[in-house]
Structure 1
Amino acid sequence: MGYLLLFDTFSKASDKFGTPFFEDDFEPNENHIVIQYAYRSDLTDMDREFILSFVEGLLSFKPSIDYVVDFFYVEQDLEFDYPTNSGFVELVEKINRLFNRNIMINDFQSFNNILQQ
């Protein structure tokens, strides 16, 4: 079990983002996407390869992006009382804490209305 978060920064990556990969030759693309995978049990190499391949499949159509997948372990499951609205706001608050993000909800009546700020 794991949780995959793709967070579009709507900006270029910092110059130091690419340093570990490209030394001094890193030229940021137009868009930096932060990708985090929080896992609940140990991942095998095959699991990691699958997740990386899945992310590549999701983003392969998007031009001019920089991303790397950050893997980290979490102690507890994120619980949510779907399909009722009860717990939806609390779930997003938990996600924000877990992934250190600031996702905001303008209309929590639907999953389609989660917006990044």
Structure 2
Amino acid sequence: MEMYGIRVQVTARPEYSTVDGFVLVPGQRAIVATWVRTEALWRADTTTARADLRSYHEALREATDQGLMIGPDPETRLRALAGYLDLDWRWITSRCRDLGDCGVSSLVRPRSRLISVEALDQVLRFLGCLAADR
């Protein structure tokens, strides 16, 4: 999502573990998506109900106030998340760059012919380009 200019908010507050991922278009609608807690491969929906929008807005405000991904740009925010998860940023970006350069189609084969790994290659190249030490 950060790759497409959508700013992500992540919180470690356990009470939000049951809230599905969502994108909020303030005052208009929320797009809700999940691949957990569903029998299907994934589920996506939209809502325009005012009560739902208020709930999502409140969740977003709280996640922003106590967010783990703080910073003015995607690299800073993703570095903060990697730091919280105790992941080596330099190794991650280097490995992503290498995998993005060669592609992962020889390593990963989706079970469904309706799914491709092209987006995964794009994400790997994006993360690899964020590396300050090339």
Q: Does TM, normalized by the shorter one, top 0.5?
A: no
Higher relative contact order (CA 8 A, sep 6+): 1
User: Whose helix proportion is higher, 1 or 2?
Assistant: 2
* Structure showing greater Rg: 2
- TM-score range (shorter-chain normalised) is under 0.3
TM-score, structure 2 normalization: 0.25
TM-score, structure 1 normalization: 0.27
User: Whose strand proportion is higher, 1 or 2?
Assistant: 1
